[in-house]
């Protein structure tokens, strides 16, 4: 892996506090910054992957609805009313 230098400006007091905090963890500021950068990149990659997955799921749903694969609202309500009633019965018998 080739390395490069990353230079940026930061308030002097923040740099001093960061250096002290890093030293307290037996790490250098550079080590912590590399760790933070890796974590940030990983979080961004995971967020992008989730976003892509979510968009695919939405498109699947839209395509299904556009193809006419719909359930009438009354049927959905009836199914969930039955589920709620079954849950209430289980709760009542467990008390």
Q: What is the CA radius of gyration of the chain?
A: 27
Copy the structure tokens of residue 13: 């007091």
Any domain includes 46: yes
Q: What is the pLDDT of residues 1-19, one digit of tens each?
A: 789 998 999 999 999 999 9
Any domain includes 77: no
95 pLDDT more than 80:
no
Q: What is the pLDDT of residues 29-72, one digit of tens each?
A: 999 999 999 999 999 999 999 999 999 999 999 999 999 999 99
CA 23 to chain centre: 31
Any domain includes 84: no
Q: Which is nearest to 40 in space by CA: 10, 6, 14, 16?
A: 6
Any domain includes 89: no
**pLDDT score recorded for residue 94:** 84
29 neighbors 19 (Cβ within 8 angstroms): yes
91 pLDDT more than 90:
yes
Question: Mean of the pLDDT values across residues 73-77?
Answer: 96
- What domain range is 58 assigned to? 12-70
Give how many domains the chain has, as a whole number.
Answer: 1
């Amino acid at each position: 892996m080739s390395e490069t230098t990353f230079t940026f400006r930061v308030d002097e007091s923040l740099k001093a506090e960061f250096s002290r905090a890093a030293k307290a963890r037996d790490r250098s500021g550079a080590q912590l910054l590399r760790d933070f950068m890796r974590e940030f990149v990983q979080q961004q990659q995971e967020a992008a992957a989730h976003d892509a997955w979510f968009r695919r799921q939405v498109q699947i749903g839209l395509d299904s609805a556009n193809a006419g694969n719909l359930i009438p609202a009354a049927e959905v309500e009836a199914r969930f009313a039955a589920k709620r009633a079954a849950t209430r019965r289980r709760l009542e018998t467990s008390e």
